[in-house]
């Protein structure tokens, strides 16, 4: 994994490893997933030495994330996730300390992380097994919650870390320092620290900017700030953020990728920095992240023309279910 960091964030890297062992994590609760498993399993068994299918994605990932040891005795060469972005986040947490390349086949509503449309599963897997896929190194956030009583909690986020007030309490006040320099006191409903991967999640909904997926930088976005001058701030990935709960009328919730939930109180401190190694998500060679944005966010070009002009080099045939306005 160190090679990803050495190459530098923001660069796509070729995935040319030999794939002998494959783990398929499937969310069988989603429509059509079971039917795809029936087609995908024989396809993989013809091409790989060992194929393991786990149909209870959530349960398996929750179990694996709690282990101090690797989830499997022999690490898979590839993890294929059949689900949505939430399923990808669960899989990344399951392999948090023992990263394995993940290819996401989208059965969710959006699919920024699960980048392969379900209709394209066969051609995408053929690319991966033939060494034609690429790795998108995704920066993660390392966090340490330091309670006022001296206890601490550590975790890692691929998408975001969200501090938020309770439903029936007033605004919270959070003091932010970056690299030891005081920045401001945010009085707001909450505060989001997001990676580039998470910039299209909660941060975007709160008015934050969209970052290119493999950027190493991250963004701090206030939620409904009391001061209108408080705006999102983009920080370099070498930065160390320290947030102090300066004022809170009750318990503050700390959510990590929507999976880990912790309680924080006045006087607690949260230290955030970039995790040493980005996580290797796979996508097809030539995949266009800006087309992904257009399709997922429903961008349709200029208001002046019903038929926006698209450069020839940017034209791709849409897969089944693509291009819908969310």
Choice among 85, 120, 155, 257 that is catalytic: 85
Contact between residue 45 and residue 129 where contact means Cβ atoms under 8 Å apart: no
Contact between residue 98 and residue 123 where contact means Cβ atoms under 8 Å apart: no
CA atoms within 13 A on the CB side of 185: 8
| CA 320 distance to own-chain centroid | 24
What span, in angstroms and rounded, lies between the C-alpha atoms of 97 and 153? 16
**Which one-letter DSSP state was computed for residue 147?**
-
Number of Cβ within a 10 Å radius of residue 298:
11
Q: Catalytic site residue 120?
A: no
Please give the full DSSP string across 53-82, using - where no structure is assigned.
EESBHHHHHHHHHT-SS-SSSS--SEEEEE
| CA 246 distance to own-chain centroid | 29
What span, in angstroms and rounded, lies between the C-alpha atoms of 210 and 220? 12
Q: Provide the token pair at 85.
A: 């972005």
Contact between residue 75 and residue 100 where contact means Cβ atoms under 8 Å apart: yes
What lies within 8 Å, CB to CB, of 291 at 6+ separation is 314, 316
What span, in angstroms and rounded, lies between the C-alpha atoms of 108 and 1? 28
Q: Provide the token pair at 15.
A: 């995935």
Helical segments of the chain, H only: 2-7, 33-45, 57-65, 85-94, 121-129, 202-205, 289-297
Report, as residue numbers or ranges, the catalytic residues. 85
């Amino acid at each position: 994994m160190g090679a990803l960091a050495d190459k530098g964030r923001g660069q796509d890297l070729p995935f040319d490893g030999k794939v002998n062992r494959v783990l398929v994590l499937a969310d069988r609760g989603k429509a059509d997933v079971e039917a795809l498993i029936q087609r995908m399993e024989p396809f993989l068994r013809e091409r790989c030495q060992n194929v393991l299918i786990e149909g209870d994605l959530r349960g398996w990932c929750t179990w694996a994330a709690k282990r101090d040891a690797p989830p499997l005795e022999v690490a898979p060469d590839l993890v294929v996730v059949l689900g949505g972005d939430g399923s990808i986040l669960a899989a990344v947490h399951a392999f948090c300390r023992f990263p394995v390349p993940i290819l996401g086949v989208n059965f969710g509503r959006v699919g920024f992380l699960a980048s392969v449309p379900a209709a394209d599963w066969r051609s995408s897997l053929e690319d991966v097994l033939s060494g034609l896929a690429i790795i998108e190194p995704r920066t993660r956030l390392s966090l340490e919650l330091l309670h006022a009583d001296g206890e601490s909690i550590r975790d890692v986020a691929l998408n975001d870390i969200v501090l938020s007030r309770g439903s029936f309490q007033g605004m919270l006040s959070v003091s932010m320092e970056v690299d030891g320099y005081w920045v401001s006191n945010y009085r707001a409903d909450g505060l989001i620290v997001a990676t580039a991967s998470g910039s299209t999640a909660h941060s975007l909904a709160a008015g934050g900017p969209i970052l290119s997926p493999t950027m190493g930088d991250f963004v701090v976005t206030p939620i409904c700030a009391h001061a209108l001058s408080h705006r999102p701030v983009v920080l370099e990935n070498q930065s160390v953020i320290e947030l102090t709960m300066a004022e809170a009328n009750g318990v503050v919730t700390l959510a990590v990728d929507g999976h880990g939930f912790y309680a924080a109180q006045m006087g607690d401190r949260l230290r955030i920095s970039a995790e040493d190694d980005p996580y290797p998500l796979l996508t097809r060679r030539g995949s266009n992240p800006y087309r992904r944005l257009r399709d997922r966010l429903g961008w349709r070009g200029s208001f002046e023309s019903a038929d926006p002009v698209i450069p020839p080099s940017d034209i791709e045939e849409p897969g089944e279910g693509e291009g819908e306005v969310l």
